[in-house]
Amino acid sequence: MIYDFVIVGGGSTGAVLAARLSENSGTSVLLLEAGPTEPDPEADRLGAVDFSHTGRDWGFQARTAGDATAPYPQGRTLGGGSAVNGGVALRGMPSDYDAWASPNWSWEAMAPCFRRLEDDPLGGDLHGIGGPIPIRRAAKEDLVAPQQQLLAAAQDSGLAWVDDHNDGVSEGIGPSPQNVVDGVRVSTAMGYLRPADGRPNLHIVGRSFAHHIVIERDRATGVAYSSDGADLEQARGRHIVVCAGAFNSPALLMRSGIGPVRDVEAVGIRSVADLPGVGANLMEHVGAFVFVVPPEGAVTTDMVQHQLLIRYSSPESPVTNDMQIGMMNHWDLTENPVLAEVCGAELIWGICAGIQIPRSRGRLRVLSPDPEHPPVIDLNLLDSPEDVAQLTAGLRLCHQLATHEALAERFERVTVLDSAVFADGDDSALAEYAQQFSFPWYHASGTCRMGPDPNAGDVVDDRGQVHGVDRLSVFDASILPMIPRANTNLTCIALGERAAEMLK
């Protein structure tokens, strides 16, 4: 049959689109998901530091900085990133969305989408109640001891208490909003697709790997895919929607002949649309830890990991909340011998700073038309000197908090770095440390950038339509012109809500 919509990728955005579009019984929707679609209750429980490293992963490697590479977890399962992430349900700042491609994506347009997806007990004019995704926050009286100590250190350092980090204006320290209930991360598979299960007009096919988009006379007409390694099949659709994420969406476009013409033809793919921005403009939040070795017996691993979040503005920054800080209450390194050797301990804790408006840009390329050949991912973290300086200053604040008397019972020594580095005014050693120990926050964005000018690197227009190819849209983190000042999952879910409005 020919479906009204064929959606590639059932992640944070694709699952939302499939559920919302199929609410109209007269609209037929096929959702192709490369990973499994059956529930996995154990994998849905939110872990500790290794929350993203589950069996439901693409197994990507990414170059982080210099020649260093590291695993880059990406969800390969129904729910995508929302099924493997840390469960933080944070909105960006309203001006983030106002700075996107057009009024179609302004805060005025996006705010109802956030409210519609939420089940937030705060309610009122700002928040939704009864939506598919629960938003929960730890009450002050429920904070575990380390988080209470962090709060005391932060307030003594001049950071104000924040009741609601999603109110669009506050900065300071307050409870991290999370889509976690009783330790279970509520993904879009749970919140959107399970209630839609049984609709005769919604077909979900798991373990179906999209090879390329079928394009006839500059119009997308289908998706070539294989299921569990079987022969190639075609799913035909009146509208093809790619929601495969910031890595797989540009890779799929390139394998379909959509991308920089020289790069595409160099690997034996016939060019269909010369769009130099496909795979470019890769943005990522980047952070680094101050690691602390505790006294013997002072830290245990049997408590909740993360309850409080700090959003603050860098000194002399023209924008608010361009930095985040959070504390890991415990970190068991017994299964990470390399870091354990570097730290000189098997049990540590740490405070991490992260840049929310990175200036550095990376890119992604494909080296083969074979979809089994993973893309080459170059994050290019901290390429900008301004990013290095900003993260260095963030590490100084992390050290100030970690060494505060409120956390004294948990503090024996800073590891890897000597505390003397923080005492002097020379940032060179700290900047070197930041570059060596920086890591991505798994919020890749921007590789199919939205905007009006394909010659300037824009890939889709302000309605998600791929420039130069009719009936082909992209909706996921890859189209973001600027990364929001927040963990990207909630934004991607709201993006799905907004895209459904447009496509309907």
Catalytic positions: 443
Is there a contact between 205 and 30 (Cβ–Cβ < 8 Å)? yes
Distance CA(346)–CA(327), nearest Å, equals: 18
Contacts of residue 208, Cβ cutoff 8 Å, sequence gap at least 6: 32, 33, 34, 225, 226, 227
Nearest one of 93, 190, 172 to 133, comparing CA atoms: 190
Beta strands in 406-501 (DSSP E): 413-414, 439-440, 472-474
Distance CA(499)–CA(458), nearest Å, equals: 18
User: Residue 424: what residue type?
Assistant: D
C-alpha distance from residue 230 to each of 89, 180, 208, 382 (Å): 38, 37, 9, 42
User: Residue 421: what residue type?
Assistant: V
Beta pairing class for 347-355 and 286-293: antiparallel
Distance CA(6)–CA(44), nearest Å, equals: 27
At 300, is the secondary structure helix, strand, or coil?
A: coil
Is there a contact between 460 and 242 (Cβ–Cβ < 8 Å)? no
Q: How many residues does the chain have?
A: 504
Residue bearing tokens 């050797």: 341
At 449, is the secondary structure helix, strand, or coil?
A: coil
Contacts of residue 337, Cβ cutoff 8 Å, sequence gap at least 6: none
Phi, psi of 17 (to 5 degrees): -60, -45
Tokens of 166: 């999603």
Tokens of 430: 């700290």
Distance CA(474)–CA(365), nearest Å, equals: 18
